[in-house]
Amino acid sequence: MSKEISQNLIERFKKEYTDRKESKVIERTVTKNGILNSSRNLAADIQSTPVFSIDLDTGDVSNQRQSGRCWMFAALNTMRHDMKNQFKVPGNFELSQNYTFFWDKFEKSNWFYENIINTAELDTDDRKVAFLLNEPQGDGGQWDMLCALIEKYGVVPQSAYPETYNSAKSREFDTLLNEKLRKDAVTLRKLVNSGASTEDIEERKQQMLSEVYRMASYSFGEPPVQFDWEYRDDDKNYHREAGITPKEFYDKYVGWDLAEYISIINAPTADKPYNQTYTIEMLGNVVNGRQVKHLNLTMEDFKQAAINQLKAGQSVWFGCDVGQHSEAREKGLLDLDVFAEDELFDIDLSMTKAERLDYKESLMTHAMVLTGVDLVDGKPTKWKVENSWGKKVGEKGYMVMSDAWMDEYCYQVVVQKQFLTDAQREAQAQAPTVLKPWDPMGSLAYKD
């Protein structure tokens, strides 16, 4: 039987509170200064000195502004780092995030329509249908989703397709597009359940996609089919490309074989044995494009793969839970010791990484780039992080992440297959186990 809180129980709690000599001192401190300011541990600043034994020169940081495009910024940043090394493009050069954003919105709309058609016979309160309708599309995404866009559409420099009001502040567009997608879901479900032909359903879907294309073009600008590009390199030499297409630009100036870049996760939950691969049902953007696929490794193997790639001079895309035990917005510190809330309140907040995932305390919320690591006796102590929140955060936009914080709140890195062991490459080639749509390893596509 459920028990209510009695007055006697409240009196007991009041006595336990007043019997603590420190209660009123802490009460005055916390009510005046807040929880975080009252528990701030300055020792974390000393531990997070931004000096690293491996430190890549990656130029200026970017700024995703009021949008959830972290995964996109982080991925394009790793590519522009390579362009900086190969072609000496200026430190402030960026690939167009607006270009991939346009095509992501367009492709996600088709992805949503296809899932709505495929689930049309289920009730709207079915968990899968409810999941689809909760957020028909958003700004978030995954590494493999960015690869799917590039493989189909290529990339362009930001000068050829610059930011707009709606790419920098995406809420208005997202709200309107989701309203349209939900309205279209009503129409598509009715067509399917009334026995309409496949041809009629496809024709109606194409009309809907034409409207999405128009909305996106009005909001972000119509993307270029070909463009001219000119720049001066770090040696002040002038370069010009005329009439190049986005796919030609990618092939010539990035040139990565994206099949060689794979996602590694560290998810120590019982449902995900290590050295096996996983995908997430209904997660993606380009229909018939690249599948989201993760190889689950121990944290030791996870970090070693990232270190191997950094040693080779290439930055590393990664996904984490940025808001946990961090002072990310100002100091740019990701450190378990930056705040001591548990000591302040004398409570036990300890959970394992698996428990935090299983009990919804943590999940991937943000993607950034590893650009350095401090190795002491071969072991990492802290990591250099390039964020996409502009130069005012941390050290000109760069952050410091303690190795202990990485252990607890980092969930994904993307590395080249060459930096894995033979056994790991064999494991990555396996067909993936399909996880439920709401699995936390797919959360980056919905959170930022």
Please give the positions annotated as active site.
70, 366, 387
CA count, 13 A, side-chain hemisphere, 35: 7
Residue 169, SS3 per DSSP = strand
> How buried is 349 (Cβ within 10 angstroms: 0-12 exposed, 13-18 middle, 19+ buried)?
exposed
Sign of CA dihedral 322, 284, 80, 255: positive
Do 154 and 250 form a contact (C-beta atoms < 8 A)?
yes
Do 87 and 233 form a contact (C-beta atoms < 8 A)?
yes
325-330 CB contacts, 8 Å cutoff, 24+ apart: 325/405, 325/408, 325/409, 326/405, 327/40, 327/44, 328/387, 328/393, 328/394, 328/399, 329/389, 329/393, 330/393
Residue 178, CA distances (Å) to 98, 133, 237, 333, 340 in order: 19, 9, 46, 35, 40
Structure tokens at 210: 């034409």
Amino acid code (one letter) for 9 = L
Contacts of 85 (CB under 8 A, 6+ apart): 313
The CA distance from 55 to 297, in Å, is 25
Contacts of 350 (CB under 8 A, 6+ apart): 342
Nearest Cα neighbor of 435 from 284, 241, 256, 280 is 280
Tell me, rounded to whole angstroms, the distance of Cα 154 from its chain centroid.
20
Diameter over CA atoms, the chain: 81
> How buried is 22 (Cβ within 10 angstroms: 0-12 exposed, 13-18 middle, 19+ buried)?
exposed
